[in-house]
């Protein structure tokens, strides 16, 4: 079945460092891809999404490009801040009759001053 | 506009006790979901309701029941709690107004449940 794989965490970076969190997926059709973020003690919230191949999602300085040829959707940010410390979830949606979403295991990011 | 609200925030149960987790959304969304979050496993779908009046099993439904009371409310019931149900539970909703599968899910703040 469909699945999402993310790089293992936790990831610790210094402020202003470059961030990459790898995400690859397995899907039979043409899923939409998402990155959700979970700040401590809160629920998940959408960070960005891409609904078709070669689309780039972006928000708050984060970017990810839907690469169908490599089945990847890596999250990047050029300069992280302490406030970016959170858990990041890559996810795909199977596009059935409702918005069924499959989440990856999450990658914990800590940014230190 | 409160978004998705959940009650309670924390709960401790003894094995065999029952309880209901409440969820409500004020965004007029059609679809609602219950997930559990366990360390290293991401979120797993317990039940979902694609529209008012319908409910279906997700990936891990055993030990749970749900009720879509109306368009706003979707409750999750544990009839006889077990330690394996210790987890953080999230309710979510989505509009399903665009193409199915493209819509953002909106999450509540979660309920942290411990079963002793």
pLDDT at position B18 is: 96
Dmax over CA atoms of chain B, in Å, equals 43
CA A91 from centroid of its chain's CA atoms: 7
* Cβ-contact B2, B107 below 8 angstroms: no
Using an 8 Å CB-CB cutoff, list chain B residues near A25: none
End-to-end CA distance of chain B: 36
CB B35 within 8 A of CB A102: no
Of the listed ranges A17-26, B18-27, B93-102, B103-112, the one predicted with least confidence:
B93-102
| Chain A environment of B101 (Cβ under 8 Å) | 31-32, 93-96, 99-100
Rounded CA-CA distance A3/A107 in Å is 16
Given pLDDT bands bounded at 50, 70 and 90, which one contains residue B1? confident
Q: Which of B40, B102, B110 sits opposite A43 (nearest CB)?
A: B110
Q: Which of B41, B76, B42, B50 is nearest to B61 (CA)?
A: B76
Contact B42 A104 (CB under 8 A): yes
Indicate whether B103 pLDDT > 90. no
Structure-block tokens of residue A49: 């999404």
d(CA B113, CA B52): 27
Nearest to B101 among A41, A93, A104 (CB): A93
The pLDDT value given to residue A98: 61
pLDDT at B90 > cutoff 80: yes
Lowest-pLDDT range, A87-101, B35-49, B68-82?
A87-101
CA torsion sign for A69, A70, A73, A74 is negative
The mean per-residue pLDDT over the stretch B5-19 comes to: 96
B31 touches chain A (CB under 8 A): yes
Mean pLDDT per 10-residue interval, chain A, length 113 residues: 88 97 91 93 93 94 96 97 96 74 92 96
pLDDT digits (tens, 9 = 90+) for A90-101: 999 876 656 678
């Amino acid at each position: 079945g469909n699945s999402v794989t993310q790089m293992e965490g936790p990831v610790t970076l210094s402020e202003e460092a470059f961030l990459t969190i790898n995400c690859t997926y397995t899907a039979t059709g043409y899923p939409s891809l998402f990155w959700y973020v979970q700040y401590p003690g809160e629920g998940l919230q959408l960070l960005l999404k891409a609904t078709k191949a070669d689309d780039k999602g972006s928000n708050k300085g984060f970017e990810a490009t839907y690469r169908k040829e490599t089945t990847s959707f890596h999250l990047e940010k050029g300069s992280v801040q302490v406030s970016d410390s959170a858990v990041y979830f890559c996810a795909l949606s199977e596009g059935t009759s409702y918005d069924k979403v499959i989440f990856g295991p999450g990658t914990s990011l800590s940014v230190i001053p | 506009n409160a978004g998705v609200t959940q009650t309670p925030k924390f709960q401790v149960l003894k094995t065999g006790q029952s309880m209901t987790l409440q969820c409500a959304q004020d965004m007029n969304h059609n679809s609602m979901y219950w997930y559990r979050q366990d360390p290293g496993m991401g979120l797993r779908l317990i039940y979902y309701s694609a529209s008012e009046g319908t409910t279906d099993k997700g990936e891990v439904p055993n030990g749970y029941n749900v009720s879509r009371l109306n368009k706003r409310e979707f409750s999750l019931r544990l009839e006889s709690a077990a330690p394996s149900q210790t987890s953080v539970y999230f309710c979510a909703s989505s509009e399903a107004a665009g193409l199915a599968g493209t819509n953002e899910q909106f999450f509540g703040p979660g309920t942290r449940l411990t079963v002793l």
